[in-house]
Chain A
């Protein structure tokens, strides 16, 4: 008995000694995560605090009453709801248009035979993914502005009035969707193209023998087989429904207040009220609300996604 446990202890010690390098190797990453991800999580107590600059997160006095910031939140609930509605709306629109284009592109790529053509067009379509929102915003401004923009020059040459996109909030729903699709369709089509090239080619051969046309093959074989991927990617995007792309809005609209009725996403709102204007009370409540509901969404989406596909639970 004693000998066995002794052996076990010795083994554990040996194992531990062997594993020491692993602990050391994990250390930088653990520190990075602790400092930049876990430490900010403590910041959610802000919502119960009466923030002042001197006290910071931890030494500011507790809010009086403790739920004071939530009162703010519920008194201004329409702003928070507008931000939530916009964030979810854009994420849905981005997903739908993005998926349609990505699938379309990947199907077209898989149906043509020129290897060189496939490679070149794929890398051209992937290129926008590497252009920052700031750069895109500058180019967009040169295209859209009322005085010298490309589109308005075209309108003038057609004898039409100029159209000032930068004072038309509604136009930005379309603009943001187009620019987002432009930026991400190449990236997403690579994922779908990968799935399509993985489809068993005997399916197509059998269909061909039966006299099916290309179009029929696409509609009856390719698209149905892409369905699980679409569902998984959708579920995973549900987890990010409450995340607004602040970089995109700053880059493209420069937080132009005229456009807030269609561009004030949750992140934009927290940024401009909390970070820029220092109105911590409301911003912290909105931020907490976003974190908690975002967390619930991710967990639920992951649960559902794992029902469809065991390996798809990661993101």
Chain B
């Protein structure tokens, strides 16, 4: 009985390993597929479609992309980087300060401010009102600010930050207070240095949100000058899919779906930075998810 149990246990472990490898493979497959696709010859795709094992790998697509749309892409990259940096820094500032205030134990309005933020997660005016307020009343239409200001405070991230602050030893702040330190110096000299990991985590969540966003350009941007890399991809997709969705229309019949590999190349350009830094930052995200799940 006991020995039988041992062997089934071993078998189970082997099955778990296999399943986990399989799931991991499925998780990474689309990304690998996109990379292979971007290095496939357009002529091969036109003839045989996408394949996991193309006859020939080539950088032709990338060369073409940079030659024909280089300046457009470069500009989009600049917009994406600028939004990510400005947005993340501003968001971090607003988030850290607010989170600090509601984490101070004996502040009169602490609970009220916490609820003030929390309530926005319960109730919102809806997309339509938000859109009209942004475009008509705040002037957030076709300018750089429209690309990050509306996301300046993410209440979820703010609570995450507060949870990090709450995990700090309370006595430290208390004794600094007794020594006559004000809130500014407590925040700058004690809280911030001690919660570097938390700030990095929240900052990365923000950076990712800004980098991946195409909602703001979709809603608020018409001017090509402010297209981000994600939005360029969206524009390309909507042009191509229109043709694919209307095969009967006269244009589509003699157009071979254009530039399949180009889309894959731009996809890779868009996820490139994330993939490159991911190995170094993923541990912060894992920590962030766990701290975020232990709300309190």
Contact = CB atoms under 8 A, between A and B. Distances in A.
Do A and B actually bind?
yes
Given A141-B263, A311-B295, A311-B296, A40 B48 contact: no
Interface in B35-57: 37, 45-46, 48-52
A136 B129 CA distance: 29
Contact of A127 (B27, B125, B256, B260): B27
Nearest to A128: B27
A76 interface: no
B126 A138 contact: no
Given A111-B12, A150-B51, A250 B260 contact: no
Contact of B285 (A44, A126, A133): A126
A29 B237 contact: no
Contacts of A4: none
Nearest to B2: A211
Interface in A213-272: 213-215, 246-247, 250-251, 254, 256-258, 267, 270-271
Contact of A295 (B108, B122, B233, B260): B122
B133 A112 contact: no
B257 A315 contact: no
A135 B125 contact: no
Given A132-B270, A291-B123, A147 B49 contact: yes
Contact of A150 (B49, B245, B283): B49
A42 B234 CA distance: 31
Interface string B214-242: 11001100000000001101101110110
Interface size band for A: 35 or more
Nearest to B293: A191
Nearest to B9: A214
Nearest to A32: B153
A88 interface: no
A166 B244 contact: yes
A127 B271 CA distance: 11
Given A108-B20, A143-B30, A213-B9, A46 B128 contact: yes
- Label chain B's interface by main secondary structure: helix
A131 B31 contact: yes
Contacts of B8: 213-215
A44 B125 contact: yes
Contacts of A98: none
Given A108-B19, A131-B271, A148-B257, A211 B5 contact: yes
A214 B13 contact: yes
B214 to A, nearest CB: 5
Given A246-B127, A247-B215, A145 B257 contact: yes
Given A29-B153, A43-B125, A132 B212 contact: yes
B27 A270 contact: no
Interface stretch (B61-69, B71-79, B95-103): B95-103
Given A125-B24, A141-B241, A270-B127, A130 B274 contact: yes
Interface residues of B, number: 115
A40 B241 contact: no
B33 interface: yes
Interface string B136-166: 1110000000000110110110110000000
Contacts of B170: none
Contacts of B260: 142, 148
B116 A152 contact: no
Contacts of A38: 120
Interface stretch (A78-86, A169-177, A281-289): A281-289
B104 interface: yes
B116 A33 contact: yes
A300 B230 CA distance: 37
B34 interface: yes
B214 A247 contact: yes
Interface string A114-152: 000100111111111111111111111111011111101
Q: Across chains A and B, which 4 residue pairs bring their CB atoms closest together, nearest first?
A: A43-B129, A29-B98, A287-B126, A132-B212
Interface of B: 1-2, 5, 8-9, 12-13, 16-17, 19-21, 23-24, 26-28, 30-31, 33-34, 37, 45-46, 48-52, 93-95, 97-98, 100-102, 104, 107-109, 113, 116-118, 120-133, 136-138, 149-150, 152-153, 155-156, 158-159, 182-184, 187, 208, 211-215, 218-219, 230-231, 233-234, 236-238, 240-241, 244-245, 256-257, 260, 263-264, 266-267, 270-271, 274, 278-279, 282-283, 285-286, 289-290, 293-296
Given A141-B237, A149-B49, A215-B8, 16 more contacts: A21-B182, A22-B104, A26-B98, A30-B113, A42-B125, A56-B137, A108-B16, A134-B234, A135-B230, A137-B237, A142-B34, A148-B257, A213-B9, A267-B127, A298-B123, A314-B295
